[in-house]
Each structure stands twice: as C-alpha cells, then as structure tokens.
Amino acid sequence: MWTEIDTHISRVTGEKFVSQQHLSISGGCINQGFAISDRQLTYFVKLNQASQVSMFAAEMLGLQQMSTTGTIRVPGPICWGTTGNSSYLVLEWLEMTTGNHKSWQEMGRKLAAMHKTTSNQGFGWDINNTIGSTPQINNFSNSWIEFYIQHRLGYQFKLAKKRGGSFPLAEKLLAAIPELLANYQVQPALVHGDLWGGNAGFTVEGEPVIFDPATYFGDREVDIAMTELFGGFPPTFYQGYEEIYPLHTGYETRKTLYNLY
C-alpha cells in the first residue's frame, strides 16, 4: 500500500519520495491517520475503505477551493486515490499548536475574508460531499430557504427516518423556516461547512489553519454558528471576524436553526 502511495506522491510533486516511517496518529473518528516520512519530507495521510474514495476526492476539491481564495490557510492537498481495499488522501504535513488571543483574532479576520468569496450559481456546490461521514447534497439553488429546507434539514430528517428515527415536529419546523428567514438577504458565501474546534488550529508560527471541510456556498452564518458548539471559539475570534465582516441583525435566532443541522 505505502509503495503505491509513495509513487503517487512522487508523480504529483515531481520529487522522488520513498516513505520510511509510518506513524499512526489521530485521524478523527472516521478515518485512520498517518504521518509518513522519508526522514526529510513528511505528509499526512488519511485512510478509509476503498468505497469511501469519493469522500476524499470531494475533500481535496474543497481544500483546493478554499486555498485559491488566498485568505486562510488549509493543509495543501497533494493527491487522493485507491490502493487495494483502501482509499487515501495525502495532505501537507503541518506542525500544529494551540492559539493565543492574537492568533484567534487573526483566524476570525481570515475566515471573514474567505466568506466574501461568492458564487454566481447560487447556493450549493459543484459536487456532493460529506459532513463527517454523512452525505451532503449540494445541488445549486437560487433560494437559500429552499436549499436549506431541501438539502440540509429536510435531507437529514429523511436520512434519520430511514434509520428508524421519529420526528413528529419535523414538518412543522420545515414549514416555519420561510418565516424564520423572512426579510433576511443572504449572499452565497464559500463556507467551511463543519467548522467546530476540532477542525481549526494554528501552525507553530501562529498562522490560523482550518481543515476537514464540508465545503459549499451557503449562508456564512452556518460557519459562525458551528464555532459556538462544543465549547466554542474564544471571544477574540468573533472580534476579529466582526472587524472584517459584521454579522447581520438576527444572527442569534438564526444560529439555533443552523445548528440543528
């Protein structure tokens, strides 16, 4: 397996790479993660079953699109593919550390700058991807309300129902969304899509980095809302964001709706 991955890395980068170390590290709860090294260069490799290769292909495209904005750093995507029974995604290796007040503020500024990247195709993305391991449908729509009902909350309710879940208030909630978002003008923004604390960090130089995206063009507030979950980001992050791209009135109400997803 490693020989095939090494060969792919060498072909893409134009530099011969023969890994000698394969250190198992955390890849989250979905993938296996490895730091592979030839004692000079190191790469981060995610592994999953071969059937999950489309998940890695979409992740690489998302990282590439965020990177091309020139706003906030992401791990550089190298290549993806399959070998035997496994699929893989190879990324730039970054030494990570915790952030201080200044670096968190800078993350807020850089995310705000990325959110100014828009799409003339509306809300959605060129391909479907995943949030975690759950399929995420990204068919474009000119209406954020329609997109959120059909491809976000509504789709989640359908998946849950197939798995035996019961949500007696689901239809009532979906029917209320147009009123909840009435008179709210949304511009499609490039969003990370899964921006909780476990998917953000800092290089040892203090540069903000975001990773493990579920990219699409949506309401930028979905990213900000998610940053408030699981302990939340520190206040300086929001201060930095507001400096560049202030949130609209009513966010406190909308964030509850968005975090249901």
Rounded CA gap, 83 and 90, in Å? 13
Q: Which two tokens stand for residue 247?
A: 């949130």
- Pick the catalytic residue from 194, 212, 219, 223: 194
pLDDT number for residue 115: 99
Provide block-wise average pLDDT over 10 residues at a time, the chain (261 residues): 98 97 84 96 98 97 98 98 98 96 98 99 98 96 98 93 80 94 96 97 97 98 97 96 98 95 91
At 32 the three-state DSSP class reads strand
Q: Which two tokens stand for residue 120?
A: 């003339």
Beta carbons within 8 Å of 235's beta carbon, 6+ residues apart: none
CATH classification for the domain delimited by 96-259, as one of 3.90.1200.10, 1.10.3720.10, 3.40.50.10800, 3.90.870.10: 3.90.1200.10
For the chain, the domains span: 2-92, 96-259
pLDDT number for residue 170: 85
Q: Is 194 a catalytic residue?
A: yes
pLDDT number for residue 27: 58
Side chain identity, residue 158? K
pLDDT number for residue 26: 75
Third-level CATH fold of 2-92: Phosphorylase Kinase; domain 1 (3.30.200)
Contact between 87 and 52 (Cβ < 8 Å)? yes
Kindly report the pTM of this predicted structure: 0.95
At 11 the three-state DSSP class reads helix
